[in-house]
Structure 1
Amino acid sequence: MSAHAAPVPPDTNSTLRPPGHRPRAHSAADVRLLESVRESVMSGTGPVTPSRVAAAVHATGRLLGTAGALAAVESISAELNGLGPLQALVRDPAVTDIFVNGPEAVWLDRGNGLEKAPVVFSGEPQIRALAARLVAAGGRRLDDGSPCVDVRLDGGYRVHAVLPPISTAGTLLSVRIRREKVFTMGELRQLGMFGTLVQDVLERSIERRLSFLISGATGSGKTTLLATLLGLCHPAERLVLIEDASELNPVHPHVVSLESRHGNLEGNGVVDLGELVRQALRMRPDRLVVGECRGAEVRELLSAMNTGHTGGGGTIHANTAAAVPARLTALGALAGMGQDAVRLQTASALDAVVHVARAGNNRYVACIGVLEDTGSGLAVSVALDVGGGGTGVRYGPAWPRLADRLGLDPGVEDVPV
């Protein structure tokens, strides 16, 4: 975030406290210190670094002591160059999402479901000021003319904000945190995402260059699984990743990432996913991956996979694997594709659908299916069906076809996870 990011009113009443505690009001001296340091730092150029903030605190002449000075630097740095009162939550490496529903309604997700966070705001104006500053740092604006905004910030934060009256409960703020850790297949198996048979199928799908989509709901682990699978690609392959907001970070020596761009404050400079797919085809990708198919870019992706670009894919939101054809048809309609065009291109371009689900705190591969043209429409035929919560695997009617493509024994019997 630049030193020229839009300033925000001081966090006069925010703090990190145990649940049930009310935040104490800062003294007038605290507010004056914050305003003085803010004015000093923001008047300079360059990034807002802890050393600049510390120098500004020292220049005020206030005798805070070592602990007090460190606390002041941390608090002011978070406000000017971070997530404000939410910054303390980011230090927990398990936190992946933060949601602000109101001054005393802050929630977080550590992978075990949503839980109340020990953070409070002084009121609705402070939440709105923080949201406006974060959005401005992403090069967009949040106001009555643009009440719903999604931006990505340096540091791996994806911020989504909604203002009243679109939100009936005040300013809503959602922060998704991109963590650098990428799981290995063994770690995902230990976490219960799949068993040995499903792992073998997934690994062979990458090795045999099957084109696939990973489907599932928000937070089901689609991006996590995709990043791990891409890390299995041969080191000599060139991976071109296309995303609306950069989240994929596979462990691979040759990765090129392209990110879409929203319009500026005047609405100019838009670069959408469809354009990025077209540009990526000129970059000689060995594998072309669209992080999330959710619009007209599906036309370019299907076209690319029908012209020799095998082994690629992406993720898509869907309730079940069987619902993927309907989603593809709907997305194709956004690109002006008729149902027959979507059906024919998809049946030729995509080999498999891997559906991930969430049961309580457990994320797991629930189904692996094969896309096929039934003549009357596009459908997903089940190859492997995993019981609720990952309790067992059953072969489906499409298993012999998938096994043949993977070079596996197509024997049909129930097997353990």
Structure 2
Amino acid sequence: MSGDEILHAVRAALGGAGAVSDEAIARAVEDAARSRGRLLGSSAAAELVRDVRDAMLGAGPLQALLDDREVTDVLVNGPRDVWVERAGRLAHTDVDLGSPADVRALAVRLAAAGGARLDDAEPAVDARLPDGTRLHAVLPPVADGGTLISLRAVRRRAFSLDALVASGTLAPPLAPVLRTLVERRANLLVCGATGAGKTTLLAAMLAVVPPDERIVLIEEAGELECGHPHLVRLVARRPNVDGAGRVDLSDLVRHAMRMRPDRIVLGECRGAEVGDVMTALNTGHDGGCATLHANAAADVPSRLEALGSLAGLSREAVHAQAASAFDAVLHVRRSGPARYLAEVGVVRRSPDGLEVATAISADPGGATVRGTAWPALAERWGLASGRRAGAA
């Protein structure tokens, strides 16, 4: 009896069981093997249970790649064209996914596991798998040549500011700057490109928040881990197949304001919710944080303008709200395998409307240089007393 036969037998046995546990899969594998007269040793049984579990609940043949702690992304361009990213570099693998139909079936199953639909009527999907892995998949003919799958692994490990300094992500002079900004309840906007380390930096800063403060974290899907003892999480919900039941980030920001938060944190700001976030931070909810996709700190005003327009805000309204909502911008950058905090900027009004002026910048080697906005940042947040805070 082949592994595929056992997989089919287990699927038939557990198909209507709803949520399936590892223990249920192990029992079903054992029953399927025994009923067909196949005896399994402990190692063979464990391997077969793992394969069946990966095929039913995980990413099938891709699961072993996602389980590799060094892998951040798994990219499928075809049945025998699978790539992984390790340490910021792509490498081809020898994984064989079978036929194009098998790749499509895998993409459809993963989408369903993430509560999303993927078919000819909805040929592209962006979803989050139960273990937090980010899924993006596209079917032909939108994907020319075959189904494309992109998976980004989420490592649920909480980093401290000291750990980020040790890893080179944070220049040593910047650690006391961030610690002071968090402790004194500055409103912070973390920006950077995809995969630059925004969530990692945000999590490390939230770990600094005093334990007697309540953090309400809003995310599209649970991702951020910081180890804070009083963090509650609100997660957006997609509409069902009938288009009902949607709860978006804007809804969650408004709910968060009624939950007695000491700090409101938005995991990712990429739509009309920017208006609700700025409203919250302008109405007494200080110490808040959000992340934003941007190529540079100087691009933040134009990004806020674009997102604000989705909320029906004029350019002038965005500038007025942002200037008082955000105290500092933290820009993270990716350079090859290195991810690091490249700039701390100050949000302020300018003759052109709004700007982010550099207070202190860092290079990948950890060297820092103070910018024109350093005196204003240092004076407002008490960073000027001593060379440790932002020494360049």
TM-score by length of 2: 0.93
Identical amino acids, percent of aligned pairs: 46
The residue number in structure 2 matching 1:197 is 173
The residue number in structure 2 matching 1:227 is 203
More deviation in 206-215 or 66-75?
66-75
Equivalent in 14, 18, 21 of residue 41 of structure 1: 14
Residues 202 and 43 of structure 1: CA distance in aligned 2, closer, same or farther (over 3 Å): closer
The residue number in structure 2 matching 1:56 is 31
Residues 404 and 45 of structure 1: CA distance in aligned 2, closer, same or farther (over 3 Å): closer
Aligned residues of 2:348 and 2:356 also touching (Cα < 8 A): yes
Equivalent-residue separation in structure 2 for 1:202 and 1:45 (angstroms): 45
Q: Is 2:298 aligned against 1:322?
A: yes
CA displacement 1:335-390 (0-9 Å, x = unmatched): 00001100001001111000010111111111110011113211011101223x24
Q: CA RMSD in A?
A: 2.1
The residue number in structure 2 matching 1:98 is 74
Q: Is 2:266 aligned against 1:290?
A: yes
Q: Is 2:284 aligned against 1:308?
A: yes
Equivalent in 384, 387, 400 of residue 375 of structure 2: 400
More deviation in 318-327 or 369-378?
369-378
Aligned residues of 1:214 and 1:314 also touching (Cα < 8 A): yes
Instruction: Write out aligned runs for 1:164-183 (5 A).
Output: 164-183=140-159
Equivalent-residue separation in structure 1 for 2:196 and 2:290 (angstroms): 14
Q: Which runs of 5+ in 1 are unaligned?
A: 1-27
Instruction: Write out aligned runs for 1:111-122 (5 A).
Output: 111-122=87-98
Residues 51 and 29 of structure 1: CA distance in aligned 2, closer, same or farther (over 3 Å): closer
Aligned residues of 1:139 and 1:265 also touching (Cα < 8 A): no
Residues 189 and 90 of structure 1: CA distance in aligned 2, closer, same or farther (over 3 Å): same
Equivalent-residue separation in structure 1 for 2:224 and 2:18 (angstroms): 32
Residues 160 and 254 of structure 1: CA distance in aligned 2, closer, same or farther (over 3 Å): same
Equivalent-residue separation in structure 1 for 2:74 and 2:273 (angstroms): 29
Aligned residues of 1:53 and 1:76 also touching (Cα < 8 A): no
More deviation in 397-406 or 150-159?
150-159
Q: Letter of the aligned partner of 2:271 in structure 1?
A: G
Equivalent-residue separation in structure 1 for 2:209 and 2:92 (angstroms): 40
Residues 253 and 33 of structure 1: CA distance in aligned 2, closer, same or farther (over 3 Å): closer
More deviation in 75-84 or 344-353?
75-84
The residue number in structure 2 matching 1:128 is 104
Residues 239 and 43 of structure 1: CA distance in aligned 2, closer, same or farther (over 3 Å): closer
Equivalent-residue separation in structure 1 for 2:87 and 2:380 (angstroms): 35
Instruction: Write out aligned runs for 1:117-266 (5 A).
Output: 117-266=93-242
Residues 33 and 55 of structure 1: CA distance in aligned 2, closer, same or farther (over 3 Å): closer
Q: Letter of the aligned partner of 1:394 in structure 2?
A: V
CA displacement 1:174-214 (0-9 Å, x = unmatched): 22222221111111111111222111111111011110111
Residues 31 and 199 of structure 1: CA distance in aligned 2, closer, same or farther (over 3 Å): closer
SS at match of 2:241: coil
Q: Letter of the aligned partner of 2:217 in structure 1?
A: L
Residues 74 and 410 of structure 1: CA distance in aligned 2, closer, same or farther (over 3 Å): same
Equivalent-residue separation in structure 2 for 1:52 and 1:121 (angstroms): 27
Q: Letter of the aligned partner of 1:41 in structure 2?
A: L
More deviation in 376-385 or 296-305?
376-385
Deviation at 1:136, TM superposition (A): 1.3
Deviation at 1:52, TM superposition (A): 2.9
Q: Which runs of 5+ in 2 are unaligned?
A: none
Equivalent-residue separation in structure 1 for 2:352 and 2:68 (angstroms): 51
Q: Letter of the aligned partner of 1:176 in structure 2?
A: R
Deviation at 1:148, TM superposition (A): 1.3
For these two proteins, the number of residue pairs brought into alignment is 388
TM-score by length of 1: 0.88
Q: Letter of the aligned partner of 1:59 in structure 2?
A: R
Aligned residues of 2:156 and 2:223 also touching (Cα < 8 A): no
Aligned residues of 2:156 and 2:224 also touching (Cα < 8 A): no
More deviation in 28-37 or 305-314?
28-37
Aligned residues of 1:41 and 1:48 also touching (Cα < 8 A): no
- Runs of 4+ that moved beyond 6 A: none
Q: Is 2:64 aligned against 1:88?
A: yes
